[in-house]
Amino acid sequence: MKLRYLLLLTSILLTPFNQVAHSQMLDGVYAIVNDDIITRQEFESAKRAVVSQLNSRKTPLPAAKILDRQILERLIIERLQLQVAQRRGIRVSDEQLNQAITSIATRNKITLSQLQKRLAEQGRDYTEFRRGIRRKLIIQNLLNLAIRNRLRITAEEIDDFLAKERQQGDLNLEYDLSHISISIAQDASADEIQKARNKAETALKALQNGEKFGRVSAQFSDASNALEGGRLGWLPAGQLPLLFTKALRRMKTGDISYLIRAANGFHILKLNAQRGARHQLVNQTHLRHILMLPDKLLPVKEMLARLRQIRQRILNGEKFSDLAVAYSQDNRSRLKGGDLGWLSPGEMAPEVEAVMKNLKDGQISQPIRTSYGAQIVQVLARRRTDASKKQNENKAREQILLRKYDARYNEWIQTLRSNAFVKVLHSDTQEAVRE
């Protein structure tokens, strides 16, 4: 690792410029991350975006050094993930990027031109905004391949989960939460654990003395949403660790929890609101699909061409189920002929649901691009039903998945970070960021 740093630094110094240029170039390098660099310009751009978001939410800014530390650590983690994605050949096309940005504008009930205007008012560059969204999509695709698609949930796990939730009376509860996390590495020493405890107790005392949660989160929390005030939003009780739900049962709206000790660190919760989960009649679709995932050996263009060929073969008389078994890369449905069963709204990607609603029963779609690949779908039937039982099962599946995902993600990030070579060159953040 030291050799890698020396080689990279030497390559910078040997660039044929005068001594002043050398100094200017080094000033422009904020940190070295493996064989890559984070520039001062990238850091300042990320800082402007974060400050703009915090100001728009009227969240008090933490101390300058703490803010810089949080932003730089976020950039380091992002860069490490992008490096893995590059090695795996994961890319996001301009078409996918445009779809994602259009979705952002739609969710905010504004046009694309209004989105650009709003960004300009916040002092943010639209080109850099597009680059940021592309990076997020690439990382999302990486995490789907590296973690999410490898997680498996059994029927027994769902049954056990629902039984425990009924016993505890939490099945139909949802909480609006904010969260502070003080993380501890798996191999942390006793001194490191005590240091984390002291930090967590300081944060808790500040909250008990009336300090705003968002400010304390930005100052102390190690969570990825620390600079967003630690806001988690509405979450079903079953999605939360049992240690959290145990604490929440004692809390009223507005309360701050006691210090929660978990395997991965210390946690503090704020209960913003609480409600019973809502049940209603839903329109369900019986669907089957053939899914393909892009990789180095199967570029997007060729993947779409293959799906069009498969679709034509079905239209020519071959069985959808046979071709799903032969070609689909969805291991959960492939051996069932691509059958996904009855699906409620929100269970498929938005791009797929937009196409589904316009298909007639029995009709097969053209290839649909999503953030994780492409697929063709066929609507088998539709119905309107009281989906309470199915909703609970789906909710249980989602919550088990999230618990497993969070645990696997935290382990993955810790491993990625501990195995990386990181050298911070900027003096103000050298002490604040772990190397």
Give domain limits for the chain: 2-148+425-430, 173-278, 281-389
**Read out DSSP for 60-75?**
PP--HHHHHHHHHHHH
User: CA dihedral in degrees (311, 315, 316, 318; nearest 10)?
Assistant: 70
Instruction: Check for a shared fold between 173-278 and 281-389.
Output: yes
- pLDDT the model gives residue 427: 59
- pLDDT the model gives residue 350: 87
Q: Calculate the average pLDDT of the chain.
A: 84
Task: Using DSSP, state whether 208 is helix, strand or coil.
Answer: helix
The length of the chain is 435
**Among 60, 129, 65, 121, which residue's Cα sits nearest to residue 100?**
129
CA–CA distance, 337 with 322 (Å, rounded to integer):
6
**Among 290, 281, 283, which residue's Cα sits nearest to residue 352?**
290
In the numeric block, the tokens 């618990």 are attached to 403
* 8 Å CB contact between 92 and 137: yes
- pLDDT the model gives residue 166: 67
* 8 Å CB contact between 227 and 50: yes
In CATH, what number does 173-278 get? Answer: 3.10.50.40
Where would I find the beta strands (DSSP E) of 244-402?
A: 260-262, 265-276, 281-292, 339-343, 368-370, 373-386
Query: Which amino acid is residue 85, in one-letter code?
Result: A
Fold of 281-389: Chitinase A; domain 3 (3.10.50)
Query: Which amino acid is residue 327, in one-letter code?
Result: Y
- pLDDT the model gives residue 29: 86
- pLDDT the model gives residue 12: 40
**Among 191, 183, 249, 257, which residue's Cα sits nearest to residue 417?**
183
Question: Can you list the residues of the chain whose pLDDT is less than 70?
Answer: 1-27, 166-172, 277-280, 386-388, 427-435
* 8 Å CB contact between 171 and 392: yes
**Among 51, 72, 52, 49, which residue's Cα sits nearest to residue 62?**
51
Write the pLDDT tens digit of every residue in 61-80: 888 888 888 899 999 999 99
**Read out DSSP for 211-265?**
--HHHHHHHH--STTGGGTTEEEEEEGGGS-HHHHHHHTT--TT-BPPPEEETTE
In CATH, what number does 2-148+425-430 get? Answer: 1.10.4030.10
